[in-house]
Structure 1
């Protein structure tokens, strides 16, 4: 550690730097002067939308070496104008959390352990189950012969982290599959 010099006393620094009110460089420590924001070292900036609710606040995602280093509000967003709620401000932690799952986990019925599956296998399993549930719950007509063309074997419950576009696509998908029980957590 360097020896402290009287020239570094705050009052002396104020007089030497011309910062007589002590609101500028005279009160800035050496450590503060050496620091740089995480955003200044980013390789690129990607525009995104906050994943937490249906408001759709704009975000700027700062990426360095293909890793997210910072997420801030996007001032160009007409929705949020650069502001984020506390959850949106902390969404960098969602991306970089050490416990974040990046592979598909599956636990077979009555099994006690999870196993890793590749994505294609998982999608095939989901497809088979959706088609079977649709087939088993299909109602072509009611007791009077009126056409129903629906299934009671499928239902959808969307979460509040989905934005309007995702909810629209989910509604279209499940309606096309014949489901009539389609709801969203934000309405419940």
Structure 2
């Protein structure tokens, strides 16, 4: 490459000679940048999601290839975050693919001293069985002659990381199960 061609390849010179005064078009491109492909170009599909870290509800685009999450970025269509994510939201890919991700549950039996590892399906079945058992044993059809149709056998305390829609659905679920003690951490 001769000296003249080398000088003409400078982005600043191209910025002024090509009419790209802001330097965001052709002036910012190079042979290397022209050969790059986006990290998300190989994805089979994009799934819309919400960042799980706080109650702001920043929208995310989750890129999936062969059933595996490959990349997560902010959703530019979101009126809440407009495509931006905080450092924690930007690192949320680690929640799904990171080596520290837990896919088993530690369980200690009543009066036990040791923890044992259970798979998620077994743990979910145990929770469902206990909820139904507590509902059945704590059911009150009426109290002092008034129809109540409720259970005092379990309660729910929600977390502040849930958005309004999740809290709404949880309230509906626990109300349908007959629970009356439903509260959220954000109100306490």
Fold match, TM over 0.5?
yes
- The answer to whether the Cα contact below 8 Å between 2:58 and 2:81 also exists between their aligned partners in 1 is yes
- Give, in whole Å, the separation in 2 of the partners of 1:42 and 1:52: 24
8 Å CA contact retained: 1:14, 1:26 = no
Alpha-carbon RMSD across the aligned residues, in angstroms, is: 3.4
> How do residues 12-161 of structure 1 correspond to structure 2 at under 5 angstroms?
15-21=7-13, 36-109=37-110, 110-117=112-119, 119=121, 121-142=122-143, 144-161=144-161
Residue pair 1:52, 1:160 contacting (<8 A) in 2 also? no
Instruction: Quote the Cα distance in structure 2 between the aligned partners of 1:69 and 1:95.
Output: 9
Q: Does the CA contact (< 8 Å) of 1:17 and 1:26 recur in 2?
A: no
Identify unmatched segments of 5+ residues in structure 2.
16-22
CA contact (8 A) 2:106 2:115 kept: no
- 1:154-181 Cα offsets, whole Å, 9 max, x none, are 1001112222222112111111222111
**How many residues are matched?**
178
Q: Where do 5+ consecutive residues of structure 1 fail to align?
A: 1-6
Q: Are the counterparts in 2 of residues 159 and 185 from structure 1 also a CA contact under 8 Å? A: yes
Per-residue deviation, 1:88: 1.7
State the Cα deviation string for residues 86-114 of structure 1 (Å, max 9, x = none): 32222112112202122454332214131
How much has 1:41 moved relative to structure 2? Answer: 4.0
How far off its partner does 1:27 sit? 9.9
SS of the residue corresponding to residue 76 of structure 1 reads coil
Conserved 8 A contact 1:54-1:161: yes
- Mapped to 1, the partners of 2:78 and 2:59 lie a distance apart of 5
What's the secondary structure of 2:62's corresponding residue? strand
In the superposition, the TM-score normalised over structure 2's length comes to: 0.72
- SS of the counterpart of 1:132? helix
Given that 2:60 and 2:74 are in contact with CA atoms closer than 8 Å, whether structure 1 keeps it comes out as yes
Match of 2:187 in 1: 187
- In structure 1, the residue matched to 2:167 is 167
Distance in 2 (alpha carbons) for counterparts of 1:26 and 1:167? 49
